Each structure stands twice: as structure tokens, then as C-alpha cells.
Amino acid sequence: MGMGSGTGGPKGIAGAGRAKGNHDNNHSPVRATRPGRHIINESDLAPPDQTRTEVKPAATLRHLMPQMPVARRAGILMAGSVAVTGITALAVSKWPASTALGSIMIILAAAAALSGLYFLMVVCPERQRKLDRVTLIGRVRVLASPSRDQSFTTLLAIDQGHELAPMARAIHDVLVATHRTRMEASWLRREMESEVDKQTRKRTATLERLSSTDGLTGLLNRRGFDEQFEDLFIRSQREGENLAVIAIDMDFFKTLNDVCGHAKGDEALTIAGQVLKSQLRETDLAGRMGGDELVVVLFGSESTDARQVAERIAHLFSTHPSGHNLPCDWPSLSAGIAARIEHGAETSRDLLAKADRALYDSKKSGRRRATIFGEDWPTSRVA
């Protein structure tokens, strides 16, 4: 019949599969690409192997072969019914003398032949069609799951003569388009999340920098300086390195503000910040503690080295072109210096306090000086 094994063997199916191969190349979702982007495979969205759905061989659709058309089956059934009815009538009329039991047996045999013919031509094909529909639905459910581990091309393993072949092709194309859309959406989501994360880190770093930076001088503000100075002090203790602090204050800064205006005072602070940053190494710190009070921390430096740096900073600031031709004097710088090992500072706060004490001595002795903590009298006068 239409479901015979003549065209249902492996060879016939393999031929059908090969015939579909070239046509399917245009629809296969093996990979989807974007210009300048990596290739996204079908397995990119699949979970680990241990969670994938096991696909049973019965759901591969390779047994769905062409069936006899309904019109042909109806014609054969009608012709067979006429033939059986005619033969039965002829048999009964030819032997009228036969017993009633014989006639009944002839009629029952004809009815059985008609029933068998109906079963073969109607019931069996209908059952097979229902089985084919169930198989196709099961295959679609498996392939529509993100945990699938087989290609959509298994939907095309149906002979073109089968009534479900066009539907299988349509479902195949829809699944391919849906899968590509899902991969594109996944790729876009990853790109968006990466960009959002990148921008978030960038903005966070910017906010952290702004929250710890003085807007006028570009140096660390009090909060940022205290945090980094404490870390640097602990590092110097751990590594056995010295740590020198230079406390700096502008001489007659108030006079500059009163005579030349606060804009000129802000300019002086900006220039001081530029000078300080120009003299720092990567391991050093500089901050504005408030007003015209500045501080420099030199990692691994002795107090004498720090005094040379302080004198160089004061000289660069006092000779800056912005201080020329003013109706008042351009501020000078006074400095106080203390070192962790030399002056026995146990804490960062203690070291900073000793540098402030040395700065006070510079101010008291006439300003424009760099004084090391513990000196009997400041001997270094800044030009």
C-alpha cells in the first residue's frame, strides 16, 4: 500500500536527505554574524550538556514517507465494495438451492472482506496520519526548546511526497528565523550590558576622583589626602622606608585677596597646585588642606631631600610670571618638614603635626623659609 517499505528504507531516506541539503543551506541557523563581530553558533544559547533534553530516535521523522492520496484510496474502496457485493449476490443467486446456512456464510464472508478492505484503506492510513502528526509535534517541541542539542534540519528529513512536508518546511523556517532573532537579541543584550558596565565603571571612577580632588588646585582635597596618606604611611612602615612631609603655607595670601581680588588669589592657588604636581613622583602625594594650606608627602625621602624639594617649589612659585606687575606683593611660600624615621612619628597624624610645628617655626622666624622639625633655628631662607 502507500505505506509500504519499498521507499521507506535507509537508502531512500538518505537520498531524500541529500536532496534537501542544498536547499537548506540558505536557511540553516548554524551561525549568525554581524560585521566586525564574532560568530554566534546555535549552541551559544544552550545550557551545559548535562541539562540538555535527550532526543529519542522515534522523533527524527525519518519514517514519514508518502501516503496514497485520499481520492485513490476512496476509489479502491468503492471498487472493492462493488466487486464484493456483486460476487456475493452472484454466489447467492447461482446456488438458490443451497441451504440458508450456506447463504448466511457467504454473506458473512463478503461482510468480512468489506470490513478488511475498509480497515486497510481507511482506518490504517488515518492511524498513520495521526502518528505522523504526533511525531512532528514532538519533534517541534524538542527543537523549540533552548536546551535542544540537534539542528533544525532534522525537520526536513521527510519525503517531499508526505502531506506534512510543507508544514515541516514552514516550521523549520520559522524556527530558524526565531533562533536568529534570539541570538541577535542575546548578542545585543551582552553588548548593552558590557557597555553599561563600562560606562558605570568609568562614571564611578570619575565621581570617586572628583569627590577626592580639589577643584581649584587639582590636588587631593582633605578627604582624599587623609585616605591616601594613611595608606602610604602604613606602606612605609611595612617596607621600612622613610616618609617625609612638607607642610606649605602662602605668606601674605590675605593681602593678595584684599588688594588684587579673590580671582587673583584663586589664580595663585591654581599656580601653586601646578607647581606642586610638577615636582611629584608617582609614589608621592600632594593635597590642599584648606585655604592656602598645602601639603606634600615624599615616599622614601629624608628630611634634607624634602627641604631641597620645598626650596625648589618655593622658587618656582615666587618667580612665576603671574606675580609680575601687581599692585601688591606676590605671595611667597613657607614650609615645615618632618620625616617618619628621623623624628620618630608613630602615626600619620603625629607626622603631620610635626611638619605643622616646623611650618609654624618658619612663620615665626620671618617666613619665606623651609624648616626641618627639631632645628633650633631656621637656617634655610627661600628665595
Whether the per-residue pLDDT at 303 is higher than 90: the answer is yes
Query: How sure is the predictor about 168, in pLDDT bands with cuts at 50, 70 and 90?
Result: confident
Tell which residue, 140, 85, 137, 136, has the closest CA to residue 111: 85
Gap between the Cα atoms of 332 and 344, Å rounded: 30
* Residue 31: count of CB within 10 angstroms of its CB: 13
What would the pLDDT profile of 81-132 be if each residue is shown by its tens digit?
777 777 777 666 666 545 676 677 777 777 777 777 777 777 777 788 888 8
Whether the per-residue pLDDT at 20 is higher than 90: the answer is no
Whether the per-residue pLDDT at 44 is higher than 60: the answer is no
Q: Give me the helices (H) in 38-99, please.
A: 70-94
For residue 223 the three cell numbers come to 578627604
Catalytic residues: 292
The reply to whether the predicted model has a pTM over 0.75 is: no
378, HSE (Cβ side, Cα atoms, 13 Å): 24
**Residue 92 confidence (pLDDT):** 66
For residue 242 the three cell numbers come to 622613610
Mean pLDDT for the chain?
A: 77
Which among 34-48, 148-162, 330-344 has the top mean pLDDT?
A: 330-344
Tell which residue, 67, 258, 229, 108, has the closest CA to residue 100: 108
Q: What angle do CA 305, 311, 315 make, to 5 degrees?
A: 150
**Residue 23 confidence (pLDDT):** 42
Which phi and psi angles does 99 have, rounded to 5°?
-65, 160
**Residue 376 confidence (pLDDT):** 58
Whether the per-residue pLDDT at 223 is higher than 50: the answer is yes
Which phi and psi angles does 33 have, rounded to 5°?
-125, 160
Q: Alpha carbon of 175 to those of 55, 169, 182, 324: distances in Å?
A: 17, 10, 10, 79
Fold classified for 222-372: Alpha-Beta Plaits (3.30.70)
Higher-confidence position of 221 and 58: 221
In percent, the amount of the chain with pLDDT more than 90 equals 34
**Residue 37 confidence (pLDDT):** 38
Higher-confidence position of 300 and 129: 300
**Residue 295 confidence (pLDDT):** 96
Q: Domain-by-domain residue ranges, the chain? A: 10-188, 222-372
CB 226 within 8 A of CB 245: no
Query: How sure is the predictor about 171, in pLDDT bands with cuts at 50, 70 and 90?
Result: confident
Whether the per-residue pLDDT at 252 is higher than 70: the answer is yes
